[in-house]
Structure 1
Amino acid sequence: MGQTDDSSTRDEFWGQVGQVGARRGPLGDADEAGLWPGGSSGYVHVTTPHSGIAATDGLSAAGADGSSLGLEVYIEGRELVDGAEGEGRWLVTALEEAAGALAAAGPDAVTAALADHDLISLEISAGDAPADWVADGRLGLLLGVELPGRPQTIGSVRALSISPLRPSELAVVVAEGAAGRRRLAEALAAQGWYSYADSTRQPVL
């Protein structure tokens, strides 16, 4: 899978989207930093005129054996404009746990999943998520919903959005698999949400 451990490439990508802020470490320990290919984890905050973005910074780095996950992931919404510690903290902690899950899965599993599916779903712990987004202590995530005009690659690696799921939406994914993920992505797009995350968003399915 393609790889990049060049922060300037990521800065160039995000600089075309908005204003790139300071890099930081994780808020908690859910991201399994030691499992990241480069052995440590990092994140960057980006501000656009209408939203804030929290993105992994180096998840695609090459490991000691030269292998790479081949992707960076990000989450975007108005609640992230003021950074990681504000009302969007739940989105940041969801991003960090998703990054940890991907790192733990390893390059082979991630590469296979991306080759087989345009959209990937995960279930993570509830973390800081609002209670009405949680089912049985779990939060569902959909990775890869496209925002029109937003590039899907950073250099040679994938840039995947993360969209939190309402319990009813997660139930559709669990019941229908790939078809459910596609149907959900289409419904998000039809209602104008695309990949934007927002605690006030109502279920689209």
Structure 2
Amino acid sequence: MGQTDGSAREDYWRTVGQVGAQRRPLGDTDEPAQWPGGSSTYRHVTTPHSGIIATDGLSGGAGDSLGLEIYVEGRELVQDPDGEGRWLVAALEEAAGALAAAGAEQVDAALRDHTLLSLEISAGEAPSDWTDAGRLGVLVGVELPGRPQSIGSDVRVLAITPLRPSELAVVTGEGPGGRRRVAEALAGQGWYSYADSTRPPVA
């Protein structure tokens, strides 16, 4: 799998916004022992209109790199990510744990077969109107126009996008076609990969 070092990841995020210090995870749902190097870290990045929390090391290491980094982005993450956007950080961390536990080969194969992935994670601290039966759905890989989706040629940088229950039902019922349909609806309404607790359902 493709690999990066910390400076390459920081350089990537400097093209997007202002890069803050490394952050430790909120808990241990990100399966830190499964990350390259056996520990997990994150970056807080701010742009003029949004805040970003990104994994910082899933693509690190030698031989056990996952070949990607993931992030979540929205206005609720501009200031203190432990405030109103905390549920988004928790969702990112659990998604990172699920991908790390799946392993590089499985994740790479899934991304080769499907440019969009979906996960179901625990509801965590998500608002109740975003969850169903204690679960929260997320899409992995919804594109934001103008945002590069890779560091170099072989390390992916993919957004996670929380799903409303009705959107998750489309994904669950229709599989890859449902993922594409929801992603196209998000793009059509101008949301793209942005996460926001006030976003209305698009499906």
Q: State whether TM-score is above 0.5.
A: yes
Q: Work out whether 1:34 is the aligned partner of 2:42.
A: no
Partner of 2:188: 190
**Aligned equivalent of 1:18:** 17
- Give percent identity, aligned residues only: 73
Within 5 Å, give how 1:32-71 maps onto structure 2: 32-63=31-62, 66-71=63-68
Give, as a single letter, the amino acid of the residue that structure 2 aligns with 1:41. S
Amino acid paired to 2:2: G
Instruction: Give CA-to-partner distance per residue, 1:54-111, whole Å, 9 cap, x none.
Output: 0000011135xx1321100000000000132110000000000000000000111111
Matched residue, 2:156: 158
Does 1:200 find its partner at 2:198? yes
Distance 1:24 1:49 in 2: 21
Pairing 1:114–2:111 present: yes
Instruction: Tell me the distance in 1 between the aligned counterparts of 2:169 and 2:37.
Output: 35
CA separation in 1, counterparts of 2:164 and 2:138?
9
Could you say what secondary structure the match of 1:67 adopts?
coil
Query: Does structure 2 retain, via aligned residues, the 8 Å contact 1:45–1:83?
Result: no
**Secondary structure in structure 2 of the residue aligned to 1:129:** coil
Counterpart mapping for 1:55-94 below 5 A: 55-63=54-62, 66-94=63-91
TM-score with structure 1 setting the length: 0.97
Aligned residues: 202
Structure 1 segments unaligned to the other structure (5+ residues):
none
Give, in angstroms, the shift of residue 3 of structure 1. 1.4
Q: For 1:190 and 1:71, locate their aligned partners in 2 and report how far apart those are by CA, in whole Å.
A: 26
Q: Which residue of 2 aligns with 1:137?
A: 134
SS at structure 2 position matched to 1:86: coil
Q: CA shift at 1:49, angstroms?
A: 0.2
Deviation sequence 1:114-149 (CA, Å, 0-9, x none): 110100000000001000000010000000000000
Report the TM-score, using the length of structure 2 for normalisation.
0.98
Q: Which of 99, 102, 106 is 2:99 aligned to? A: 102
CA shift, 1:198, in A, is 0.1
CA–CA distance in structure 1, aligned partners of residues 15 and 60 of structure 2:
21
> Partners in 2 of 1:54 and 1:76 — Cα distance?
7
Letter in 2 for 1:171: A
Cα RMSD (Å): 0.8
Question: Secondary structure, in 3 states, of the residue corresponding to 1:38?
Answer: helix
The code of the aligned residue for 1:191 comes to Q
SS at match of 1:175: helix
Answer whether contact 1:44 1:55 (CA < 8 A) is retained. yes
Consecutive unaligned residues of structure 2, counting only runs of 5 or more, are none
Does residue 180 of the first structure (1) align with residue 160 of the second (2)? no
Q: Distance in 2 between matches of 1:38 and 1:144?
A: 25
